[in-house]
Amino acid sequence: MKFLDFFKKKLKKYDDEVNFTCDICGREVFDGARVCHPCLKLLPWNDKNICPFCGRKVVEEGTCLECKQQPLKVKKARSALLYEGDAARLVLRFKTGEKFLFRTFAELSMPVIQREFPMCDAVTFIPMTRKAEKRRGYNQSRLFAEEIAARTGKELLSVAVKRRETGAQKFLGRTEREKNLEGAFHINDRKAVKDRRILIIDDTLTTGATVSELADALLRAKAKEVYAFTLTSAENKHPYGLPPLEKAPARPPVID
């Protein structure tokens, strides 16, 4: 039994490194790619109209309202995919135990990173609090950034710590999220940051508040420029502002 476990582990490790099945549909692949060609074609690529700053999909080319009202601290952000369908499922799996997906993430990201961020000489990741990292067992943003550093030859900077838990941000807008995150990140090696062009790597960009807050800390530590790349980003559904709120329906009369 022990031997079988040992063998299974070996096989799993071999599959992680060499890969013979598609990480999305499980079909056999023959070229060592992490994702098969049909799945690659079907992925929701973020390659149509995007906001030139936050990189999120917009209906018409141009700066989105959020970036007009509250620009991000990163010079620009880009993402390879939209946060939907198989791409959203990949992110979820990556965050809930399927650690090995960092290779898949890197493979899907490299073309955009090489095209958009040749000026960056270092990459970094979003730190987690020690407690949160212990709970998950790993920091997915770090795993992803490490792989990007290895593939691009850029230096990996592990210079930021997260000082406090910031809670769920799901229902907050960019401004509220930024308020919620204020002062959450601390740079503990300012020397390593000074005058560098740094690319923050993460899995998903929603409003961009998290990368913006980390960028703010890096800039205060005298980084030259800060950029962000995420595998996916949420489509900006209201790039020109939220539609006016509908009036709440009148309450039915109370009948005694």
Q: Distance between CA 100 and CA 144 in Å, rounded?
A: 10
Q: Which member of 67, 101, 198, 201 binds Zn ion (CB under 5 A)?
A: 67
Q: Are strands 185-187 and 160-162 parallel, antiparallel or unpaired?
A: antiparallel
User: What burial class does residue 194 get, using C-beta atoms within 10 Å of its C-beta: 0-12 exposed, 13-18 middle, 19+ buried?
Assistant: exposed
Complex with Zn ion: residue 36 or 148, whichever CB lies closer: 36
Q: Distance between CA 215 and CA 196 in Å, rounded?
A: 12
Q: Which member of 53, 117, 227, 229 binds Zn ion (CB under 5 A)?
A: 53
Stretch that binds Zn ion, among 61-69, 76-84, 128-136, 149-157 (CB under 5 A): 61-69
Complex with Zn ion: residue 10 or 37, whichever CB lies closer: 37
DSSP SS3 for 3 = helix
Site for Zn ion contains 51 (CB under 5 A): yes
- For residue 8, the tally of other CB atoms under 10 A from its CB is 10
Complex with Zn ion: residue 42 or 219, whichever CB lies closer: 42
Q: How far is the CB of 122 from Zn ion (least distance, A)?
A: 24
Complex with Zn ion: residue 103 or 154, whichever CB lies closer: 103
Q: Which member of 22, 91, 200, 214 binds Zn ion (CB under 5 A)?
A: 22
Stretch that binds Zn ion, among 14-22, 85-93, 178-186, 225-233 (CB under 5 A): 14-22
Chain residues binding Zn ion by CB under 5 A are 22, 24-25, 27, 36, 39, 51, 53-54, 64, 67
